[in-house]
Amino acid sequence: MQSTATGSSASASLDHSLPKWVFLQLLESCNLRCKMCYEWGENGPYNEKKILKQLDIKVVKDIISTCSSVQPYYELYGGEPLLYPHIGEVLKAIHDAGSKVHMPTNGTLLEKHAELLVTYPPERIWVSLDGPIEINDEQRGKGVFQKAVKGIEKLLRLREEAGSKYPQIGISTVVTPRNFRHLERFFFEALDISKLDCISIELQAYITEQNHKDYEGVLRREFGVNSAPVSRGFVCDPAMFADIDAGLIARQIQTIAEYCEVEGKYLNTYPKVMSEDNIRKYFSADWFSMTKVKKRCPFPWVSTEINAQGDVTSCHAYYDLTLGNVNEASIAEIWRGEKYTQYRNYLRKQLLPICQGCCLFYNEKPMMA
C-alpha cells in the first residue's frame, strides 16, 4: 500500500521521549493483488509467505496507551487495514486516547464498515484509486472501482446524517505507466470530485537494482543485517518508465491543482514540486537533481513504524532493518534503545540508498493534518 502520509501543519515539539507519529501495519493480508503493489505485486515479498502476520490487538492497545501522553498521529496500514479483525477496537482506542488517525484503504470494504468509520472517525480516509474504471480495474482488479465508489457514497451519506465533517475522504492516486494519460479524465469525469475533501497524487515509488544492492551493503556493514527482501519489492528498472510523458503529467496535475485551489480542497503531491522537469528526473532515477531534494531525514526522531510482525523500524514500508519488536519490549524502550540511537547516529550524517523510494523523503517536515 503506497503511503498517503500527508497533512497541512506540523506540531514540532521538542519532546522526543516518544514518537509523535506512529505507523501501524495492522496486518499483511489484502483482498486485492494490485499489479504495482510493493507487497503483493509482481516483485512483492508477500506472495511467497506461507503464514501472514497481524498485530496482536493487546500489543496495539499497549502502544496506544504508552504513547497517549504525547498524543501522536496514527496511520493504519496493511495489506488492507479494514480487513483487520479488531479494526473497531483500534479506532476506538485511538479516539479515546485523544489522537488522530489517517488510513489508506483500497475502498472495497468501506461500505461494510461505514457505520464504524462514522462512529469512530479517522480524521482522513484515503481511498486508493488509480484512474477511470477500466484503468483502475486493470491495475487493481475487476469491480474494485465500483465497490470503492459505492463505499464512498455510503460514507458520505452517513457522515452527513451524523452532522459530522469526519472522516474526511480523499482519493489517493499513484501515477504509473498504465494510468498517466488519464489523470484529468479520472478526476473530472469518472469521479464526482466536488464530493471529495482532498486528493493525493504520488509518482510510483521505486528504487533501482543498484540502490537495492547499496542498501544491502549498508545494512550488512553498519547494522549486521544480511539480506533485504522487503525493499526488493520496490525494485524497478527505470526503463519501464520510458514511455511516460512528464509534460502531460505535469499539465494534468496543474489543472487538478488549480481546481483544488479554487475549491479549497487539500492537494498532496509526492514529490512536492510536480514540474515537467522534476517528473522526468524522477522517472529517470535522476532523483538528486530534482528541485528541493533532502540531504537528511528527520523522521527517525519523530516517527516510528510497527509492522504486522511487531518489528519496529523508522522507515515507512522498508522493514528490512528493525530496531526492536513490540512483542518483546515496549515501544518506549525500543524508541529510546541502543539500536534506535545507532540508527539515528547513522542518519545524522547521510541518507540511505533507498530514501528516494520512500514517501517520507518527499515530506519537507513531519506533517500531519
Total residues in contact with ligand SF4, by rule CB under 6 A: 26
User: Which of 155, 260, 347, 368 is the binder for ligand SF4 (CB under 6 A)?
Assistant: 347
| Contact between 360 and ligand SF4 per CB under 6 A | yes
- Assess 54 for contact with ligand SF4 (CB under 6 A): no
Q: How many CB atoms lie within 10 A of CB 157?
A: 12
Look-up: residue for cell 504495482? 36
Which is closer to ligand SF4, CB of 117 or CB of 260? 117
Q: Does 234 bind ligand SF4 (CB under 6 A)?
A: no
Query: Can you read off the three cell numbers belonging to residue 44?
Result: 512483492
Nearer to ligand SF4, 30 or 149 (CB): 30
Nearest to 131 by CA among 121, 141, 119, 139: 139
361 near ligand SF4 (CB under 6 A)? yes
Task: Give the range of 225-233, 242-250, 284-292, 347-355 binding ligand SF4 by CB under 6 A.
Answer: 347-355
Told to check if 28 binds ligand SF4 by CB under 6 A, we report no
Q: Choose which of 39, 75, 130, 216 interacts with ligand SF4 (CB under 6 A).
A: 39
What CA–CA distance (Å, rounded) separates 118 from 122? 8
Taking the least distance from each CB to ligand SF4, the nearer of 193 and 293 is 293
Smallest distance, Å, CB 261 to ligand SF4? 28
* 153 bridge partner residues: none
- Continuous H helices in the chain: 57-67, 87-96, 110-119, 133-140, 144-161, 183-185, 209-223, 229-232, 246-263, 276-283, 331-335, 338-349
Indicate which single residue of 26, 358, 367, 368 sits in contact with ligand SF4 (rule: CB under 6 A).
Answer: 358
**Residue range at the interface with ligand SF4 (CB under 6 A); choices 66-74, 148-156, 204-212, 350-358:** 350-358
- Specify the stretch interacting with ligand SF4 by CB under 6 A; choose among 30-38, 67-75, 95-103, 215-223: 30-38
Q: How far is the CB of 259 from ligand SF4 (least distance, A)?
A: 26
Which of residues 260 and 320 has its CB atom nearest to ligand SF4 in the complex? 320
Nearest to 313 by CA among 339, 351, 348: 339
Q: Binding mask 62-91 vs ligand SF4 (x if CB under 6 A, - otherwise)?
A: ----------------xxx-----------
Give 235's DSSP letter. Answer: B
**CA-CA distance, 127 to 262, in Å (whole number)?**
22
Question: Is residue 352 close enough to count as binding ligand SF4 by CB under 6 A?
Answer: yes
CA separation (Å) from 322 to 3, 173, 211, 237?
19, 29, 19, 27
Give kind and range of the element (H or E) at residue 172. strand 168-175
C-alpha dihedral, 146 to 147 to 149 to 155, nearest 10°: 160
> Is residue 23 part of the contact set for ligand SF4 (CB under 6 A)?
no
DSSP string, 173-185: EEE-TTTGGGHHH
Choosing from 318, 319, 335, 340, the residue that interacts with ligand SF4 (CB under 6 A) is: 318
- Helices 209-223, 338-349: crossing angle, 10 deg rounding: 130
- Residues numbered 282 to 311 that lie near ligand SF4 (CB under 6 A) are 297, 299
> Which residues lie near ligand SF4 (CB under 6 A)?
1, 30, 32-34, 37, 39-40, 78-80, 106, 297, 299, 314-316, 318, 347, 351-352, 354-355, 358, 360-361
